[in-house]
Structures are given as structure tokens and as C-alpha cells.
């Protein structure tokens, strides 16, 4: 099962559909014109590049690895923005697995390479301007984007220092 860490598969074999704490990272990646890279998942919904923490890696390493696996791009610098948890972190997946997801959002500040879509996890990647974002977001991705727009982009446009 591509995209699911081995330890999650082993835990699911032991606990079935009971709630499992999952930790992951996702990224905001803008191109040189300020458009944001979004991933259309195989479900047809849109989200940010990212995925689940593997045992032994840091959240920053997770973000870098996931961007490389999903897009072919190599991240050389990123900045941690916020960690999301709380009441909106509970979910039940289509297969009835229950999860509680803790997600750390990063901003990619330097990267290189050519964008290539991993067809196992994505239908496509596309850059969007912030005023023309798609409507159908998976999970909490809209929440993560709103945080970025209000707390990072909004501060930058007002001339406030970056956090």
C-alpha cells in the first residue's frame, strides 16, 4: 500500500478500525509568480503535497521526502508555519478507519527540479492563483491554506515581519 507507512499497516492489523494517532506534514509551495502548487488526489479532491511521518524521521524530513516522492521536486529550504490539532483533527476514512491527525504545515522557501506527477497518489499537480483556488478540498487542506493566507501572506502584504 503505497503512501501508508509500514508501522501504520501493522498497527491496523492489531487494532482494526479503532482510532489511531497519525502525524504528518504538508507544504505550501509557490512558484516564481506566486501561484500555489496543489495536488489533485486520486479521489478528485485537491490538497497540498505532504504525507505521514515515517518512524525515525523528523517532520521537516517528512515534508521534504513527500514533496520529492509526489512531485519530483527537491526542497532545499523550508520554514515551519504551524501545527494543527484539536477538534477538527478527528476523521473516519472511507474504509472506516478512525484517525486523529496532527499535521505540521511548512512553507517551501527554496526548491529545484522539474515537476513530475506520481500517478499512484495524484491525478495532477497544478499551480493556482489565490483568487482562483478550486472548491473541492480533501480533509483539512482548506483550513491549512486559510491559515497561510491569513497569517503569512496577509502579514507579508501588510509589510509586517514574517513569523
Predicted pLDDT of residue 133: 94
Residue 68 has pLDDT above 50, yes or no: yes
Write down the residue that cell numbers 517528512 correspond to. 62
* Residue 154 confidence (pLDDT): 75
Structural domain total, the chain: 1
Average per-residue pLDDT in the chain?
91
Percent of the chain with pLDDT over 70: 93
| Residue 162 within a domain | no
User: Which pLDDT belongs to residue 156?
Assistant: 64
pLDDT tens digits along 144-163? 999 999 998 876 655 443 33
Q: What is the CATH number of the domain that holds 45?
A: 3.90.79.10
- At 82-123, the pLDDT tens digits run 999 999 999 999 999 999 999 999 999 999 999 998 777 789
CA of 154: how far to CAs of 26, 44, 147, 157, 160, in Å? 20, 29, 10, 5, 9
* pLDDT (0 to 100) of residue 153: 82
> Could you tell me the pLDDT band of residue 2, with boundaries at 50, 70 and 90?
low
Tens of pLDDT, residues 30-45: 999 999 999 999 889 9
Per DSSP, the three-state class of 62 is: helix
pLDDT at 1: 46
- Residue 117 burial by Cβ neighbours in a 10 Å radius (0-12, 13-18, 19+): middle
Contacts for 146 with CB less than 8 Å, ≥ 6 apart: none
Domain that holds residue 138: 6-157
Note whether residue 41 is domain-resident: yes
CA-based end-to-end distance of the chain? 38
* Residue 64 in domain: yes
Residue 132 above 80 pLDDT? yes
Q: If you write DSSP's letter for every residue of 86-141 in order, what string do you get? A: SGGGEEE-TTS-EEEEEEEEEEEEEEES-----TTTEEEEEEE-GGG--S-B-TTH
In Å, what is the CA distance from 137 to each residue of 45, 54, 69, 72?
5, 25, 21, 22
Amino acid at each position: 500500500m503505497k503512501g501508508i507507512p509500514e508501522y501504520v499497516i501493522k498497527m491496523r492489523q492489531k487494532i482494526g478500525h479503532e482510532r489511531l494517532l497519525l502525524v504528518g506534514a504538508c507544504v505550501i509551495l509557490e512558484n516564481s509568480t506566486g501561484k500555489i502548487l496543489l495536488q489533485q488526489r486520486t479521489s478528485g479532491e485537491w490538497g497540498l503535497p505532504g504525507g505521514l511521518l515515517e518512524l525515525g524521521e523528523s517532520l521537516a524530513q517528512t515534508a521534504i521526502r513527500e514533496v520529492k516522492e509526489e512531485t519530483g521536486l527537491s526542497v532545499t529550504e523550508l520554514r515551519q508555519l504551524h501545527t494543527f490539532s484539536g477538534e477538527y483533527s478527528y476523521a473516519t476514512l472511507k474504509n472506516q478507519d478512525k484517525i486523529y491527525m496532527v499535521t505540521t504545515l511548512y512553507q517551501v522557501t527554496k526548491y529545484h527540479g522539474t515537476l513530475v506527477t506520481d500517478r499512484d497518489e495524484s491525478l495532477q499537480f497544478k499551480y493556482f492563483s489565490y483568487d482562483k483556488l478550486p472548491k473541492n478540498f480533501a480533509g483539512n487542506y482548506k483550513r491549512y491554506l486559510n491559515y497561510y493566507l491569513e497569517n503569512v501572506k496577509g502579514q507579508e502584504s501588510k509589510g509586517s515581519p514574517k513569523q
